[in-house]
Structure 1
Amino acid sequence: MSKDSSVDCKQKPGVIAPVVDLKRCEGKGDCLEVCPENVFEIRRIGESDYLKLNVLHRFKLRVHGMKVAYTPNANACRSCGLCVSACPERAIKLARTA
């Protein structure tokens, strides 16, 4: 999938932000590929996030290379929903920021 700058976004930036469920995310990067606002990055899970997970989810992460999606540019999200649709693990939801 490729980024499309003509996506009909629903909100101004900063109203809605994607939330990634690290228990489900496998770091495949589909969200990164479809996001027109460059909200996502795929990287190694942070130690504090890793330690919050139970043993089963830690094992799953190891199997999938310890990679997950983070949202360093979440405030740029315009609520197009492409990331939610693209995620094969259904690990992303959109939530109001305030």
Structure 2
Amino acid sequence: MSWFVLVVAGALEAVWAVALGRSEGFTRPTPSIVFLVALAASMGGLGYAMRTLPIGTAYAVWVGIGASLTVAFGMLTGDEPASLVKVLLIVGLVGCVIGLKLAH
């Protein structure tokens, strides 16, 4: 269950990161509220997962999932330029996250 919660928390990290960018310094209410809710849920999930998973592994997986989804979302929406190198690096990052799960 901890791994499932950790993956969801990592995905929510991407949600709050995108919402933070779209809040324009907390001047737009809807993205600001999405940011706060996703941030609380993401941190809560990370904290829950850390009760049974090693802190370093849980944090690395959480950050890896959040970072890769945030960059992928940016490339898909056109907010960030896409390139083969970026795609390969994201694939490598996801591979490392999977490796951490398999090594646990």
**TM class by smaller structure:** under 0.3
Q: Larger % of strand: which?
A: 1
Return the TM-score normalized by structure 1.
0.23
Structure possessing the higher radius of gyration over alpha carbons:
2
Q: Larger % of helix: which?
A: 2
Relative contact order, higher structure (CA 8 A, sep 6+): 1
Return the TM-score normalized by structure 2.
0.22
